């Protein structure tokens, strides 16, 4: 052939390690603590709303950028939860999950040669998204025990070519939560260098020990340079529904809607109607959600500490990045495969979250969005591990 069959962009990354470990879990009948999908039911009110919508024949295309009732419900939620006064007609785009939202945002703002700052470790989709959008990524490490940026290292990554910084807050995979003070420092750099802040806030309601969520868009000078991404998956335990959101200025939103239209046309219409019910759940729902997840975090943390894993309790989201030193191993990939095939528990090797594998080689990631009996079965199986140091 005159030209290679596979594009240079597509050849730069592999299939998802997370989804691959889920396949391994099914193959070996392992407890799946790899992929962040709950194994408990979604709220009954939301499921009933989806069923009603289907029976009432809400089965054709919704408005490309999101059903009107859902967008208005999202705006109401943003007002009380984030303190953001959002125009549902001009500042909200509904996408096929937050995964599409991130890709759409990057495709809409990136030109060749633009740099995008990513933390290491990062959620595994972000770097391929940058590649697909034509961005040049610049990686800045966050380090344990708190998984925070070194302020000088972060500042050094900004320059005249920087177009955006991508943040996940609360963070997947580390469980860290940015404080308001940390976000203020990042915002100051964005203002200095005229940089967009693209924030994945899908875990916005899953925080522990009374922590509260701060959206960088609410900080001084950040309203029009922030792109806030979220969705229904984690808050309402409907990861398979694929309803994501982008909130941004009207100027940016117009571009997002154009790109989204040609990428996917729109998200599922009956599930969008149910989403309007979800975003109007009583505020007590979100309090109970955080409390339930904190109990799950504590349950799995106790079991992992007893086995020999080392980590600080996550501050938010539903993941634990745990050190594997105690088991006398250095290869996180081999250890993760040992866990799923021989122990019966699926995790994700830490190196899959970094372009520099050495930064994650001593870790595996556990997720705890599971029923108590699921976590207890995983704990029982992990007790067969032997500490060697």
| CB-CB contact of 133 with 163 (8 Å) | no
pLDDT, one tens digit per residue, over 55-64 is 999 999 999 9
Whether the upstream peptide bond of residue 145 has omega within 30° of 0, thus cis, is yes
Model confidence over 72-86: pLDDT tens digits?
A: 999 999 999 999 999
Distances (CA, A) of 295 to 52, 80, 369, 370, 375: 33, 26, 11, 11, 11
Total-model pTM: 0.95
Q: From 214, 173, 175, 221, select the one nearest 196 (Cα to Cα).
A: 221
Residues 245, 95 contacting (CB under 8 angstroms): yes
* Cα–Cα distance for residue pair 198/377, rounded to 1 Å: 38
Could you report the per-residue pLDDT of 318-363, keeping only the tens digit for each?
999 999 999 999 899 999 999 999 999 999 999 999 988 888 899 9
Q: What is the pLDDT of residue 90?
A: 98
DSSP per position, 275-303: HHHHTT--HHHHHHHHHHHHHHHHHHHHH
CA distances from 26 to 23, 31, 68 (A): 5, 9, 39
DSSP conformation letters of 314-354: PSBTTEEEEE-GGGT---HHHHHHHIIIIISEE-EEGGGG-
Structure tokens at 157: 């990554």
Residue 232, sorted as left (phi over 0), alpha (psi -120 to 50) or beta, turns out to be alpha
Mean pLDDT computed over every residue of the chain? 95
Residues 274 and 341: their CA atoms lie apart, in Å, by 39
The β-bridge relationship of strands 136-143 and 148-149 is antiparallel
Q: What is the pLDDT of residue 261?
A: 96
Choice between 294 and 21, residue whose per-residue pLDDT is larger: 294
Q: With beta carbons less than 8 A apart as the criterion, state whether 78 and 246 touch.
A: no
Give the CA distances from residue 117 to residues 157, 209, 224, in Å, rounded to whole numbers and listed in that order: 7, 30, 19
Peptide bond into 242 cis (omega under 30): no
Of the CA atoms within 13 Å of residue 187, those in its CB half-sphere come to 21
CB-count exposure of residue 220 (10 Å: 0-12, 13-18, 19+): exposed
**Strand 92-95 with 244-247, pairing:** antiparallel
Give the pairing type, strands 196-200 and 162-168. Answer: parallel
Using 50, 70 and 90 to split pLDDT, how confident is the model at 1? low
Place of tokens 């070519």: 161
Give the largest CA-CA distance in the chain. 62
Q: Please tell me the distance from the alpha carbon of residue 206 to that of residue 318, in angstroms, as a whole number.
A: 8
| Model confidence at 13: pLDDT above 80 | no
Condensed to tens digits (0 to 9), the pLDDT of residues 371-388 reads 999 999 999 999 999 888
Q: Is 78 exposed, middle or buried (0-12, 13-18, 19+ CB in 10 A)?
A: buried
Given a cut of 90, whether residue 168 has pLDDT beyond it is yes
Where do we find the tokens 């009207």? 250
Distance (Å, whole) CA 45 – CA 235: 14
Q: How far apart are CA 188 and CA 33, in angstroms?
A: 37
């Amino acid at each position: 052939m005159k030209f290679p069959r596979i594009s240079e962009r597509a050849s730069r990354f592999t299939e998802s390690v997370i989804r691959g470990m889920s396949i391994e879990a099914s193959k070996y009948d392992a407890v799946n603590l790899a992929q962040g999908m709950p194994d408990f039911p979604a709220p009954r009110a939301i499921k009933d709303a989806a069923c009603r919508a289907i029976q009432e024949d809400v089965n054709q295309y919704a408005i490309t950028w999101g059903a009107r009732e859902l967008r208005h419900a999202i705006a109401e939620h943003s007002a009380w939860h984030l303190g953001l006064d959002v125009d549902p007609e001009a500042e909200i785009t509904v996408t096929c999950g937050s995964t599409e939202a991130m890709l759409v945002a990057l495709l809409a703002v990136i030109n060749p040669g633009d740099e995008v700052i990513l933390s290491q470790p990062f959620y595994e989709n972000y770097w391929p998204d940058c590649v697909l959008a034509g961005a040049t990524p610049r990686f800045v490490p966050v380090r344990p025990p708190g998984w925070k940026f070194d302020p000088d290292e972060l500042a050094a990554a900004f320059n005249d070519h920087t177009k955006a910084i991508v943040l996940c807050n609360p963070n997947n995979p580390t469980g860290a939560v940015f404080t308001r003070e940390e976000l203020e420092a990042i915002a100051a750099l964005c203002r200095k260098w005229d940089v967009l802040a693209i924030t994945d806030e899908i875990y916005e309601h899953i925080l522990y020990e009374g922590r509260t969520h701060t959206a960088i868009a609410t900080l001084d000078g950040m309203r029009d340079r922030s792109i806030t991404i979220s969705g229904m998956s984690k808050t309402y335990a409907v990861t398979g529904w694929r309803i994501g959101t982008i909130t941004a200025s009207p100027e940016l939103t117009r571009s997002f809607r154009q790109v989204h239209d040609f990428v996917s046309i729109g998200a599922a219409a009956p599930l969008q109607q149910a989403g309007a019910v979800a975003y109007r759940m009583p505020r007590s729902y979100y309090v109970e959600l955080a409390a339930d997840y904190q109990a799950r975090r504590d349950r799995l943390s106790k079991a992992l500490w007893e086995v020999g894993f080392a980590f600080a309790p996550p501050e938010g989201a539903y993941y634990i990045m745990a050190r594997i030193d105690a088991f006398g191993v250095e290869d996180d990939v081999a250890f993760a495969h040992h866990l799923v095939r021989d122990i019966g528990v699926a995790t994700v090797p830490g190196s899959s979250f970094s372009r520099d594998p050495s930064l994650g080689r001593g870790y595996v990631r556990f997720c705890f969005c599971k029923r108590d009996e699921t976590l207890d079965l995983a704990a029982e199986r992990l007790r067969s591990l032997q500490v060697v140091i």
